[in-house]
Structure 1
């Protein structure tokens, strides 16, 4: 019998919309052994939550990924049957029909929202960055362990086919030893055209490029370097960083940091909300025999290319080779992480082996180190631990 996880979704913005839409996709498109149901939606008003549900149920327009008829399978199979609209998050947390809560609120609210859900006895999938700082994350981990609840950061990219394929290539030895890598999430959000309340501009929402974009170059560094069998450093640290301040609101316009894995390799990671990303390579991994270039965008790449070294450089690989790995046959690819949560909860696990809490702590510390060494208005912001 297929295990069905009953979700409560809090916040009704763009990221929650994408996540909810992907729960409607037929599990057979990704050979999944689990299914999903939306039991409750929480917003700042009942009307807003109901509007979210109504759109999922009846909107004939394309979904966030441009697909028409995206909700047909889900409606036929009861993904939204009986879903309740609530005008507060606490009501979602108190709903006995909710097994797990998806948190899609702004970064600076993640800790408080996840804490309330855990204290109410719910499993939690929380959007990235997990929390504002490491102290907040450690409090959530402590609560989850005390209550024997599942907790995971929603780094959906880790579960895409290309992520596994890239790791298999790097671990195969075909490219020789890894020397270094770079990963870049630049995207021109045109912040000057956005209101002060926009999440990329507003410090109260954790605005700027570091917290919003930083998890994506970080995930490729973690997959390519940290999880590589040649790595023996369990605690890689930031050894250098720089932040460019967006003067209008004092958040960072761009951030660059270097992480070092002792006796292995270094990664240079970049975020920028004022410039477009390079379409052919959001990440480049330099190896002995050839390089690997991962195509843009870093959150959902579907292609990587093995690139030979220059003719006057050493390297056994002489022909360029491009490999395609579609994220999914339908939907946007957020259902992979939802499936992981369902399997873990079904199997009684409190964390994911693919997205372990220890690795979330590592990347959270990187963001802390870069922020605290920079000159933005968020440099000395206090956590909400204990509140």
Structure 2
């Protein structure tokens, strides 16, 4: 598969390094808002061509699949740009700014019979299925509660605190905690309550969501931008607990009994970065003529966007372009 990358920031570098180790991917082109930045990126990672505009990138007839790595405030316009030029798209999370944008571009992808999928990478990694299997085994009995957190020290980055860039903790890191809850407990949600500490700019510096499910389970999810957390996801059962190290890329799954004794550990298999799994899923789906990946269905993307729309509404967070 001949691949290009749109936007040449830090996360794009991780993807570029990853696909450089994948035999089934040919690194064709990188595009940025200025040529020198794109050329430096292309030379560093081994792309054949560099472009100083996104329009030039999508016009490259050799490129088949584009990884969109721009800030999520711009995903909607960049996804549309790629689709309108006949490119399959793997787009970073948050997929778009809101559900309305997500539904529009997903409809366009289906109309053009092109793959479009969200790079919520934890849904593609093998440890995601392992976790589901461990939960389903009943090893810790009936599960009542989970907690999940993801906090980094990133509040000095303008994409985090600027409303015009769809800033805030929720769409950047809170989405991982909500996704962890969805993976473990599903999506039959009764209600969500939330609270947040705000930047002076009016977007959330840190936010906490309590997700209550119709069967009585509760997920307590938090994301923040001004402190370092342990990144753990913990499930609480009648016969023990399950501890997942790093909800941002499951490193291990540990099972404890009622005496808090470790009884089983599942380690993540060796990986390049973890991004390779979403790329492999794209290649498989494209070859099968699908417009979505089984691991990340379009319906799940829209559901999560609607969920975050509701949370933002409850917190009175509205972006200037909405």
- The 5-angstrom pairing of residues 370-381 of structure 1 reads 370-375=311-316, 378-379=317-318, 381=320
Superposition deviation, residue 161 in structure 1: 2.6
- State the TM-score, normalized to the length of structure 2: 0.94
String of CA shifts for 1:249-298, please: whole Å, max 9, x gaps. Answer: 332111111223322522121111112212xx611112232111111x32
Which residue is 1:210 aligned to?
Answer: 170
Change (3 A) 1:102 1:380: closer
What is aligned with 1:321? 263
Alignment deviations for residues 171-201 of structure 1 (CA, whole Å, 9 cap, x no partner): 1222223212121111233x3xx3xx62222
Q: 2:292 aligns with which of 342, 346, 351?
A: 351
Q: 1:225-374 alignment to 2 at 5 Å?
A: 225-226=185-186, 233=188, 236=189, 238-247=191-200, 249-263=201-215, 265-278=217-230, 282-295=232-245, 297-309=246-258, 319-326=261-268, 328-329=270-271, 331-374=272-315
Measured at CA, do residues 357 and 302 of structure 1 come closer, stay the same or move farther in structure 2, by a change above 3 Å? same
Deviation per residue, 1:114-169 (Å, 9 max, x gap) = 01111221111110000000000010111111111111100111222321211111
Task: Please tell me whether residue 198 in structure 1 is matched to residue 158 in structure 2.
Answer: yes
> Which residue is equivalent to 1:92?
57
> What is the aligned partner in structure 1 of residue 9 from structure 2?
13
- Residues 121 and 147 in structure 1, CA contact (< 8 A), matched pair in contact too: yes
The yes-or-no answer on 1:54 pairing with 2:43 is yes
Matched, 1:224 2:165: no
Pair 88,26 (structure 1): closer, same or farther in 2 beyond 3 Å: closer
Give the TM-score normalised by the residue count of structure 1. 0.79
Unaligned runs of 5+ in 2: none
- Which ranges in structure 1 are unaligned for 5 or more consecutive residues? 28-34, 58-79, 312-317
SS in 2 for 1:199: helix
Residues paired across the two proteins, number: 322
**Larger-Rg structure:** 1
Q: Which stretch of structure 1 is more off in the superposition, 88-97 or 106-115?
A: 88-97
What is the RMSD computed on CA atoms of the aligned residues?
1.9
Q: Distance between the aligned counterparts of 1:327 and 1:95, measured in 2?
A: 36
* Equivalent residue in structure 2 for 1:141, among 92, 96, 106: 106
Distance 1:258 1:203 in 2: 24
Once the two structures are TM-superposed, the CA of residue 110 in structure 1 deviates from its matched residue by 0.4
Which SS does the other structure have where 1:242 is aligned?
strand
Q: Does 1:154 align with 2:103?
A: no
